[in-house]
Amino acid sequence: MLSILQASNLGLRFLLELCVLAAFGYWGFHMDTTPLWRWLFGLGTPAVVAVLWGIFAAPASTHRLSGFWYYLFQVFVFGGGVLALYSSGRPTLGLIFGVTVLLNLLLLAYWKQ
């Protein structure tokens, strides 16, 4: 039973990683600026976050952070996603996302995943 929960938590983690990219994209496309800047931020911000995640947090990365720095990086990325949703006029969605991320991170740390 525990292995099913642990596998589900890893699956949830992957979905949360995709959701944070969507949150940054949503933020970019809903900025109060010209259409050109909305497109640049809407596509560029998730792309930059994905590249940084691939370098510093992906399991197969040669530059993967560890320990404190790994968790701090996650706080910045997922916290940025929460703030992106909040500043885009979706505070409830940001709160739900933030609580889900927090519970997921706590379980990942507890199970050493």
- pLDDT at 38 (0 to 100): 98
% of the chain beyond a pLDDT of 90: 96
Say whether pLDDT at 86 is over 90: yes
Tell me how far apart the alpha carbons of residues 69 and 91 are, in angstroms, rounded to a whole number: 28
Contact 43, 28 (CB under 8 A): yes
**Stated pTM of the model:** 0.92
Digit-coded pLDDT (tens) for 35-81: 999 999 999 999 999 999 999 999 999 999 999 999 999 999 999 99
Residues 6+ positions from 105 with CB-CB distance below 8 Å: 71, 74, 78
- pLDDT at 1 (0 to 100): 80
Task: Give 21-49 as a DSSP string.
Answer: HHHHHHHHHT-SS-HHHHHHHHHHHHHHH
Dihedral sign for Cα 92, 94, 97, 99, please: negative
Say whether pLDDT at 113 is over 90: no
Say whether pLDDT at 16 is over 90: yes
- pLDDT at 14 (0 to 100): 97
Tell me how far apart the alpha carbons of residues 26 and 85 are, in angstroms, rounded to a whole number: 8
